[in-house]
Structure 1
Amino acid sequence: MGTSTYLRVVRASAWYDLMVTIGFATPWTFAAILAGLETISSLFGITARFPVFEPAHMLMANLLGSIVTVWAILRLRDTQVRYGRYDAAGRFLFATWQLYALLHGAHPIVWSFLVVEVAFGIAQVLPIDGVRCRGNGARASVAG
Structure 2
Amino acid sequence: MISLAAPAHPVYPRVVRASAWYDLVVTAGFATPWTYALVNRALSALGDALGLGALPSVDPVQTMYANLMGSVVVVWALLRILRPLPAHGLYDGAARVLFSVWMSYAVAQGITRLLLLFLVVEVSFGVAQLVPWWRSRGTRRDACD
**CA deviation digits over 1:53-95, x for unaligned, max 9?**
2211110000000000000000001110000000000000000
1:51 Cα deviation after fit: 1.2
Aligned twin of 2:80: 75
Aligned twin of 1:60: 65
- The answer to whether the Cα contact below 8 Å between 2:37 and 2:58 also exists between their aligned partners in 1 is no
TM-score, length basis structure 1: 0.85
Rounded Cα–Cα distance in structure 2 between residues aligned with 1:34 and 1:133: 45
1:122 to 120, 127, 133: 127
Rounded Cα–Cα distance in structure 2 between residues aligned with 1:134 and 1:7: 19
**CA deviation digits over 1:32-67, x for unaligned, max 9?**
111111222233233x23212221111000000000
Aligned twin of 1:139: none
Report which of the two structures shows the higher radius of gyration computed on alpha carbons. 2
Structure number with the higher strand fraction is 1
Q: Which runs of 4+ in 1 moved over 2 A?
A: 130-135
- The answer to whether the Cα contact below 8 Å between 2:47 and 2:112 also exists between their aligned partners in 1 is no
Structure 1 unmatched ranges of 5 or more: 136-144
User: What pairs with 1:29-44 in structure 2 (closer than 5 Å)?
Assistant: 29-44=35-50
Aligned twin of 2:4: none
Aligned twin of 1:107: 112
Rounded Cα–Cα distance in structure 2 between residues aligned with 1:64 and 1:104: 20
What percentage of aligned pairs have identical amino acids?
A: 45
Aligned twin of 1:6: 12
Rounded Cα–Cα distance in structure 1 between residues aligned with 2:35 and 2:90: 30
1:131 Cα deviation after fit: 5.6
1:21 has 2:27 as partner: yes
CA RMSD of aligned residues (A): 2.1
TM-score, length basis structure 2: 0.84
Equivalent position SS for 2:57? coil
Q: Which amino acid aligns with 2:33?
A: P
When structure 1 is superposed on structure 2, of 2-11 and 112-121 the one drifting more is 2-11
